[in-house]
């Protein structure tokens, strides 16, 4: 790198910094996009009430954690008659339930699942309650489900400690799709500085050739064939995940299925580049999803948006290592898939496989409609811009005439460096992509130059691009888009 490049890098950083600080000040306004209801985290109000009542206000307990542990002494009640004895004078709902008071050991060896289940059972009954997983302890949990639908609304799972997964095959049953799940809840928040560690290496290395001697004989058998997602929310509304880290996932880190009004912020996913199928965040059949201020490093898609998702808004996210931000693969096995109104902006991609990608299987139906990718900074990304309507996982995929339609996709201000192809747009013969627009594209090779590739792609260039995207067919495809 010569001096000039160094200099321009500094300028770029300054510009990016000014840019992002401007973005912060606009947060409130942008939160209204897609008319997301602003969801408040009930824990803060709980804490405020505690302070007012003097529970956390004793000398030396100005620190939040101190306030909380003081609180737990008041609520700790081994006979679990917490509900009745702790009603506040106003009949309010400032209720905290600490897993240590329900028998959790937090020593990293004892299975604390039953203590967590008991804590949940108590917290579940009380509106706006807080289940506390305190810092300074490591909790080993087997498969666990924090399940509604009979729970009160607005429960907070305050995670400041560490939760780890078992690594012995005997601790798992086969076919388990997730390790920790929250289902059928109305208002659920997971917040705190805590870490959930899936100890995934025992799954990633679970190859037929795997030698038990490699991990000092701890492994006596293979892990189940199905690798679990670490944390999954199902059938819930008003879901918040903020502050926490999920690391070393056997498979997907964080998944939302059948959820509405989801907010993920200050979230970290951290697994190595070579860990297979470890998506950062996986969305399916979910609407009104906001993901921001998060660092996603993993071995597969940083965010994967699947069928049934609409009004998805992702911004100020770092992605890498990983496979980029992807919509799809959609339409597998001739299925119908619908994704609409997705905005991805202010994302930095570092050394990822793709940048922003839409992938569909041949033979599917439905559509991907109304997607904007803007302000995407790519560095050493293999293929920054990709649409692949011939997606195939390596098994034999025949050409079929039907396809998931792809239309109204906008690429704005996508800049940086690529290592293989700057732009790869492979659209179906039967149903070409249409309404694909580009402006302010500036993609430079790390080493060898490569030209954009387009196949059956219709759209417009709203400004000149680097490199020129001459392969784009101007105008609209005559084939109409199938509605969802």
**CA distance to 276, 385, 449, per residue, from 207 (Å):** 12, 33, 38
Q: How far is the CB of 449 from ligand NAG (least distance, A)?
A: 24
Q: What is the distance between the alpha carbons of residues 137 and 115, in angstroms, rounded to a whole number?
A: 14
Q: Which is nearer to ligand NAG, 25 or 398 (by Cβ)?
A: 398
Q: How far is the CB of 155 from ligand NAG (least distance, A)?
A: 28
Nearest of 255, 380, 266 to residue 324 by alpha carbon: 380
Q: What is the distance between the alpha carbons of residues 115 and 82, in angstroms, rounded to a whole number?
A: 15
* Element (DSSP H or E) covering residue 52: helix 42-52
Q: Which is nearer to ligand NAG, 272 or 370 (by Cβ)?
A: 370
Q: What is the distance between the alpha carbons of residues 97 and 393, in angstroms, rounded to a whole number?
A: 46
Q: What is the distance between the alpha carbons of residues 61 and 67, in angstroms, rounded to a whole number?
A: 6
Using the rule CB under 6 A, is 341 a contact of ligand NAG?
A: yes
The answer to whether 157 and 131 have CB atoms below 8 angstroms apart is yes
The answer to whether 232 and 176 have CB atoms below 8 angstroms apart is no
**Contacting residue, 67, 76, 103, 370, with ligand NAG by CB under 6 A:** 370
Q: How far is the CB of 254 from ligand NAG (least distance, A)?
A: 23
Footprint on residues 391-420 left by ligand NAG (CB under 6 A): 399
DSSP state of 90: T
Using the rule CB under 6 A, is 457 a contact of ligand NAG?
A: no
Q: What is the distance between the alpha carbons of residues 309 and 307, in angstroms, rounded to a whole number?
A: 6
CB atoms within 10 A of CB 256: 25
Q: Where are the beta strands (DSSP E) in 361-452?
A: 365-381, 383-388, 405-418, 423-426, 433-445
Q: Which is nearer to ligand NAG, 122 or 342 (by Cβ)?
A: 342
* Element (DSSP H or E) covering residue 116: helix 113-124
Q: What is the distance between the alpha carbons of residues 283 and 304, in angstroms, rounded to a whole number?
A: 6
Nearest of 330, 284, 292 to residue 310 by alpha carbon: 284
Q: How far is the CB of 369 from ligand NAG (least distance, A)?
A: 8
Using the rule CB under 6 A, is 429 a contact of ligand NAG?
A: yes
Q: Which is nearer to ligand NAG, 202 or 425 (by Cβ)?
A: 425
Q: How far is the CB of 396 from ligand NAG (least distance, A)?
A: 8
User: What is the set of active-site residues?
Assistant: 300, 323
Nearest of 314, 206, 282, 295 to residue 245 by alpha carbon: 295
The token pair at 21 is 């600080």
Q: What is the distance between the alpha carbons of residues 83 and 77, in angstroms, rounded to a whole number?
A: 10
Q: What is the distance between the alpha carbons of residues 183 and 179, in angstroms, rounded to a whole number?
A: 13
Q: Which is nearer to ligand NAG, 151 or 425 (by Cβ)?
A: 425
Q: Which is nearer to ligand NAG, 311 or 359 (by Cβ)?
A: 311
**Contacting residue, 68, 232, 282, 311, with ligand NAG by CB under 6 A:** 311
Q: Which is nearer to ligand NAG, 210 or 390 (by Cβ)?
A: 390
Q: How far is the CB of 323 from ligand NAG (least distance, A)?
A: 23
Q: How far is the CB of 255 from ligand NAG (least distance, A)?
A: 21
152 to 191: interface string for ligand NAG, x by CB under 6 A: ----------------------------------------
**Contacting residue, 137, 310, 343, 410, with ligand NAG by CB under 6 A:** 310
Q: Which is nearer to ligand NAG, 230 or 305 (by Cβ)?
A: 305
**Contacting residue, 70, 284, 318, 340, with ligand NAG by CB under 6 A:** 340
Q: What is the distance between the alpha carbons of residues 58 and 78, in angstroms, rounded to a whole number?
A: 24
Q: How far is the CB of 316 from ligand NAG (least distance, A)?
A: 22
Place of tokens 């939302």: 256
Contact residues: ligand NAG, CB under 6 A:
310-311, 340-341, 370, 399, 429
């Amino acid at each position: 790198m010569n001096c000039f490049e160094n200099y321009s890098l500094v300028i770029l950083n300054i510009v990016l910094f000014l840019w992002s600080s401007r973005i912060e000040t606009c947060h409130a306004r942008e939160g209204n996009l897609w008319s997301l209801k602003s969801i408040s985290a009930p824990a803060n109000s709980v804490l405020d009430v505690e302070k007012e009542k003097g529970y956390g206000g004793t000398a030396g307990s100005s620190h939040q954690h101190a306030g909380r542990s003081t609180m737990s002494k008041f609520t700790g009640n081994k006979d679990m008659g917490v509900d009745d004895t702790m009603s506040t004078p106003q009949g309010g709902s400032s209720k905290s339930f600490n897993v240590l008071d329900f028998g959790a050991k937090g020593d990293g060896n004892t299975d604390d699942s039953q203590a967590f289940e008991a804590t949940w059972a108590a917290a579940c009954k009380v509106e706006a309650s807080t289940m506390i997983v305190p810092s300074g302890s490591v909790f080993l949990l087997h498969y666990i489900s924090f399940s509604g639908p009979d729970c009160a609304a607005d429960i907070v799972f305050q995670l400041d400690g560490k939760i780890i997964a078992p690594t012995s095959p005997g601790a798992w049953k086969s076919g388990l799709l997730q390790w920790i799940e929250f289902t059928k809840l109305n208002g659920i928040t997971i917040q705190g500085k805590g870490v959930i560690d899936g100890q995934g290496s025992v799954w990633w290395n679970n190859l037929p050739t795997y030698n038990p001697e490699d991990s000092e004989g701890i492994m006596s058998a293979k892990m189940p064939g199905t690798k679990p997602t670490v944390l999954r929310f199902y059938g819930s509304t008003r879901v918040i995940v903020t502050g926490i880290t999920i690391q070393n996932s056997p498979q997907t880190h964080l998944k939302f299925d059948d959820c509405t009004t989801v907010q993920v912020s200050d979230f970290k996913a951290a697994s190595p580049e070579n860990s297979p199928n470890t998506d950062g965040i996986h969305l399916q059949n979910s609407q009104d999803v906001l993901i921001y201020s998060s660092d996603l490093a993993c071995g597969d898609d940083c965010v994967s948006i699947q069928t049934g998702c609409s009004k998805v808004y992702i911004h100020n996210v770092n992605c890498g290592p990983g496979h980029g931000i992807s919509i799809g693969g959609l339409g597998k096995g001739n299925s119908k898939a619908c994704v609409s109104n997705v905005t991805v902006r202010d994302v930095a991609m570092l050394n990822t496989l793709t940048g922003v990608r839409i992938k569909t299987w041949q033979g599917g139906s439905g559509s991907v409609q109304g997607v904007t990718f803007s302000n995407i900074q790519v560095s050493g990304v293999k293929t920054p811009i990709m649409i692949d309507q011939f997606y195939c996982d390596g098994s034999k995929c025949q050409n079929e005439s039907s396809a998931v339609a792809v239309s109204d996709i906008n690429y704005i201000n996508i800049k940086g460096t690529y290592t293989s192809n700057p732009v790869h747009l492979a659209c179906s013969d039967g149903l070409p992509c249409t309404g694909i627009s580009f402006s302010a594209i500036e993609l430079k090779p790390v080493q060898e130059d490569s030209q954009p590739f387009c196949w059956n792609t219709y759209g417009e260039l709203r400004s000149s691009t680097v490199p020129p995207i001459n392969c784009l067919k101007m105008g609209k495809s005559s084939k109409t888009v199938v509605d969802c």
